[in-house]
Amino acid sequence: MSVEVPVPVPVDLDEVDLSDRDWWVRPPAERHAAFDRLRRERPFAFFAEPEIPGIPTGPGYRAVTRYADLEAISSQPALFCSGKGAVSMQDIPAELHEFYGSLISMDDPRHAKIRRIVSKTFTPRMLERTLDSVRAVVDDVLAAARRTAEAGDGTIDVVADIAAPIPLRVICDMMGIPEEDRPGVLNRSNIILSGGDPELIEDGDPLTAFLTAGMEMAALMERLAAERLEQPREDLTTALVTTEVDGEKLSHQEIASFFILLLVAGNETTRNALSQGLLALAEHPDQRARWAADPGLDRTAVEEVVRWVSPVTWMRRTATRDGELNGHRFSAGDKFLLFYAAANRDPEAFRDPQVFDVGRDPNPHVGFGSKGPHFCLGAHLARRELAVAFRAMFDQLPDLEVTGPPDRLRSSFVNGLKRLPARLTGVR
């Protein structure tokens, strides 16, 4: 077996460019070594924005790498807003960043209104039904993965055969997405969060592919919303089109925007926590054996996987006025990228942060976002999916073995894997 084993590496900060998506396919040890030095020496390091055809290049941004600074910015939404764009380094048109970012690219009072309506749709009955279905989805996906291995030479791709289908099926079941639409949903989700990776962009034009994928996802959701108004069902789409708070409902465009957020954020985050969690366990077999032997570690181990992986690498905030933070002066309009992956390895917040410890407790990671109004709405569901999936893999695929290094996504925004080779050693 050959996997990536973290080792200390020297770093020249003058060669670090957090805007260059090619930099992000380097081994994680290199990335975290760079974050270590940035935290110590340049906690608000400046980086130029990447040049993207069709989008104006802006003035650049400050990289926030210390846990305390990230927490301070996240907890002051009036001073550091999301409404200028939370998921883009560039200043794209407001209608685009809100459409693709939904709640995470909004500020109060509109953010509070949309979140109240969306939160009300997640009724205890609906959540319980969704959580109950997770086990059935996981069992079915793992059984299919074993059949794939048995039908061939015993090998599988962890991403395609396990990590991608589990969250996609859970979310599509919850939303009531027809089976025939699901392959397209996965493809468009991949494009939206591709980071411009050319392997996932067929026509070579990332901006066009990104816009087309979003419009196609929106068209699907608007079609389903209209259908649910005519024929309601027991699903989240029906709840979204019918729920009312203080006399207000979501528009079809707001529903479509939330649908994109739910699919790309809920699907991609859980997918990459699953695939990279399995990679981390392969790199730390003692922790795998420890967790597999003790179901009581499910809670702490899931939190450690999310901390270790940090599936979403950063979110952006923009200063609304002049001010100062931890000795750093800033001006209205300055951009800050909150690097969750860096904060989650900050020695000021975590004891032995470079150690993967499935029993770590407490574990105040920011893998689901930091404190404040934008903490992940689906964190509870993601935790449930991860706990059920890993426990089921220990029980049903105990012979799963990672056989080689991953193929990493060329993206600064999503810490993703495109492929992770593995085999079931019990298959002959």
Helix ranges (DSSP H) in 153-205: 158, 165-175, 182-192
Report the amino acid identity of residue 366.
Answer: V
Interval 374-424: pLDDT, tens:
778 778 888 999 999 999 999 999 999 999 999 999 889 889 999 999 999
Q: 3-class DSSP state for residue 81?
A: strand
CA 421 vs. chain centroid, Å, equals 21
Contacts of 427 (CB under 8 A, 6+ apart): 146, 149, 150, 154, 399
pLDDT of amino acid 3: 45
pLDDT of amino acid 1: 43
Q: Are 250 and 296 in contact (CB under 8 A)?
A: no
pLDDT of amino acid 186: 82
Q: Are 111 and 129 in contact (CB under 8 A)?
A: no
Distance set, CA 194 to CA 97, 264, 314 (Å): 16, 10, 15
- HSE-CB of 418 using CA atoms within 13 angstroms: 16
pLDDT of amino acid 2: 40
Q: How many CB atoms lie within 10 A of CB 361?
A: 11
pLDDT of amino acid 187: 84
Q: What is the mean pLDDT of residues 134-144?
A: 96
pLDDT of amino acid 365: 97
Q: What is the mean pLDDT of residues 94-117?
A: 76
* 193 pLDDT more than 60: yes
* 45 pLDDT tier (thresholds 50, 70, 90): very high
pLDDT of amino acid 74: 95
Exposure letters 179-194 (e unless 16+ CB within 10 A, then b) = eeebeebbebbbbbbb
Q: Are 252 and 242 in contact (CB under 8 A)?
A: no
φ/ψ of 246, rounded to 5, equals 55, 40
Report the amino acid identity of residue 97.
Answer: H
The partner residues of 248 in beta bridges, in order of sequence, read 245
φ/ψ of 318, rounded to 5, equals -130, 130
Q: What is the mean pLDDT of residues 129-151?
A: 92
Q: Are 45 and 62 in contact (CB under 8 A)?
A: yes
pLDDT of amino acid 340: 97
248 against 339, higher pLDDT = 339
Domains of the chain from N-terminus onward = 13-424 (1.10.630.10)
